[in-house]
Structures are given as structure tokens and as C-alpha cells.
Amino acid sequence: MIKSVLHMFYPNINEIIRILETGPRQQERTINLAKGDIQAVCRMARETFMNESMCLDISTPICIVGDLHGQFEDLLRIFKNKGSPPHQRYLFLGDYVDRGKNSVETLTLLLCYKIKYPETVYLLRGNHESPDLNMTYGFFDECKRRYSTKLWKSFVDCYCCMPVAAIISNRVFCCHGGLSPSLTSIDQINSIQRPTDIPETGVLCDLLWSDPDRSYGWNKSTRGVSWVFGSDVVDKFLVRNDFDLICRAHQVVEDGYEFFAKRQLVTIFSAPNYCGVFDNAGATMYIDCNLIITFDIYQGRALRRTSIPDAVISGVKRLARSLNSSLSRESSLNR
């Protein structure tokens, strides 16, 4: 009796990781784990998140991953290429669920790694870590069809406690969406109380929903939520906080990564052939101990690596001025 009670609260994390990293069996698209084990993982991960700040301080080296949206095979490809934790350190920028077919596997594996290696794996919340969006874009239905609505509620209770921003080596500001006109100090992020839903306005909403745009200043977003912000806003934010780069996700970009504002902001999207509809590549961004950036690009089943040897982030010299001239083309971000 005692053994069964302990198992209910402390699942075998190593075994769950092994099963998930092995991948689905041939001709099967999903991996069926015990519902009680997944619920216990959610509880344990929730406690881990609550022990972290809302804005994380992270050192290099680090591999940054953008939207995954339930594309579990692509997550496994990233681990195969870059190395699984703890051999590689990771910062994920959110949107683990919805739209893809394997949101349960994707989020469960990441939560397991967060529990096992809390200072190696960092998970930020995306705008799709939201009950309202889950109802519309698939995660609720996936949980209900494969397990139960109670399991979905366990995931919700967990991701409502996730951090929403990170600062890498005091130079790179990371979040899922973008900046906020209400954000005047990083301390505002750390003052956000958890657990929390995503409000319709304000700093938390904007960090998860806003987008860069070629317009000047702040303008209402065509998404119907939050704002779009111009390169002038990026400039002011970086100067005010003594940062060199903003790294965010939230938008599909053709090559998996895309620069904005004279390469002072970069969008990372890590789900190639998004939803089986888009012809986009996926990408991850690696920052080494010397603050040199490398992109790994995933197109279909192929992998291409792009190094930026001159992209050394420095408190004296802005990243925008030190990027390799081969990246002189600045692409617009699609909405």
C-alpha cells in the first residue's frame, strides 16, 4: 500500500523519459503513458516552476528553441542533433501545445527534463499555454480524446506557473512574444503573481502576444490582442536595460529564424513544415560561452548549420554592429 502511494506521487521520471525519447512504435502516432504518471509529472514540475523567478537569469552556453506546437518528432530531432539534457542546456520559448498531433508527448517530455535537470532545462510560457486557446486549437481535445479532461486540467495548473521571460548573461532578453508599452522595469515581470491566467491587457499579455512590426512606435495588433512595436521601441528598450539582443518566438518565419531592427531582435521558430501546411524551416539558436551565435536549421528531414562567427555579444559593442556582413539582408516578419 505504501509503495503504491509513493508511486502515485513520485513517478519514475527516468523511465518516462526513456519511453518518450524512444518515440512511437512503428505505425503508431502516439505514446500512451499512464495518466497518473503524467499528472504527477505536472505536479512536480509546477513546484519546480514556483521555485523560479518569473524572469530567469541564465548563463551560457545555451540552446534556444522556439515554437514546437506538438511536433514531437521535431523535438526529438533537436535533441538528437544538439544532445539531450544534461549534455546540452536549453531554453524553450513556449508554445509547446496546440495544432500538432503530439502535444501531450511534447510537453510531458519537457516537464520531465525540467524536473530532473532544473538548472539545465528552462521553459518559458507561450500564449498557447492558455486554457482559452487550448479549447480552440487542439490541446484540450487531444487530452480529452486520449485521456480525460482532468489530465488537461493538470497541465493547465502546471503551465499557469511557468516563468515568462529570461535574461541570458545579462545581454539577451528572451520571451515568447515581445515587448510591452507598460513594461518600464524588469522588476515588473518578477512581481507577477502565480499561478495566473493570461490577462487581456498589460505586461503579461504583451510578453506572450506582441509582435515586431515595420511601423513606428506602438500600434494595435491585427491579432486583436496586444500590440505591435517598431524598431524604435526595440532601440529604446535595449538602451534602457543595457541589453544587446531580444530573442523571441511566436511567428512562423520562412528560414526558422529572422532578424528585425538592424539585427537587434531575432525570431526563432522551431516547427518545420508547420502543421503540414507551411513550407517553412525550423531553427534553434545556440549561444556559446564566448557569446557567439550559431543557428541550426531544420528543413524537412535535412539539417543545415549557419554560424555567425562575428556575432559576439558585448556590453561595449552592440550585437547589431558585430553581426557578420553576410547577414546584411533584413527580412520582414510575417504576422
Q: Which residues are catalytic?
A: 128
C-alpha cell at 146: 486520449
Helices (H), 10-71: 13-22, 35-50
Residue 64 β-bridge partners: 91, 285
Buried (b) or exposed (e) across 247-272, using 16+ Cβ within 10 A? bbbbbbbebbbbbbbebbbbbbbbbb
Non-local (6+) Cβ contacts of 86 within 8 A are: 117, 120
Specify the 3-state DSSP secondary structure of 298.
strand
Q: For residue 306, give the nearest of 292, 319, 320 by alpha carbon.
A: 292
In the chain, the N- to C-terminal Cα span, in Å, equals 55
> Quick one: which H or E segment has residue 58?
strand 55-58
Residue the block writes with cell 504527477: 40
Point out which residues pair with 168 in neighbouring strands. Answer: 58, 172
For 129, other C-beta atoms within 10 Å of its C-beta total 27
- Residue 60 is placed in which grid cell? 551560457
Rounded to whole angstroms, the Cα distance separating 5 from 322 reads 57
Sheet containing strand 257-260, edge to edge, reads 55-58, 165-168, 172-175, 245-248, 265-268, 257-260
| Rounded Cα–Cα distance for residues 126 and 128 (Å) | 5
